[in-house]
Structure 1
Amino acid sequence: MERGNRIIYNQDGKIILQTGETTGDVSGHDTITELHYLDVEYGSIDYNKQHIESINPITKELVLKDIPVILTDEQKRLKALEEELSMLKEENKNRDSEIVNTAFEVVNMKLNNNI
């Protein structure tokens, strides 16, 4: 099927949107009986994580859909390594403070004994 370009324009003739021409497995344009608009505040949606699926015509609210995060094998391995490192840091937190305390004691002893 071939579908022509649909142009949406404002009251002054300024073009707001063009669909462009297309061919192949596409459906025709929907019949428009009313046009509405909704202004979305800048920065209110993280378009890397979500996209606008539609607008609820009754409530005039956005219907957002999460974009699935598909990790590469490298990203999965990196995430596993980061989690392992975090666990090791947590396990060794007490040990690190013991090392610092011991080092502090050694320095104090040297200072107090003029070594």
Structure 2
Amino acid sequence: MPTVEQGVRRLPSGRWWEAVRVPAYRARHVLTWLGSTSGAVLLHQDAEPIYTWLIRLGAADMWDQATLGVMVPRPGTVIRVPPATWCGGPGTRWLVPTGPTGLTSPDRLRRALEQTPLGGTYA
């Protein structure tokens, strides 16, 4: 985890965790469905806000990304990660702060994705 002095760091997906990127229009439903069982969630406030859940390595290997309406970046893809205390303001921040592991249960995340309206997918 980066320090405040380091600011946002670019860390590789597939080394400590796997990233699951969910578009904003679905992420709100997923957050509601998961409730307090959600692990840490990154919010990348770019032109199109993207929410990123972190799950254990290899957990999404067999997921049909198009059907679930998510994008799971290949190992080595850079993910912007802020210091643990950055939970507000513009830019990249934690929407749900990190906990002891910071990881969301991949089974619960998949179930939440299956229960929320698709409305569009990553191309």
* TM range, smaller chain: under 0.3
Give the TM-score, by structure 1 length.
Answer: 0.20
- Specify which structure has the bigger relative contact order, considering alpha-carbon pairs within 8 angstroms and separated by 6 or more residues: 2
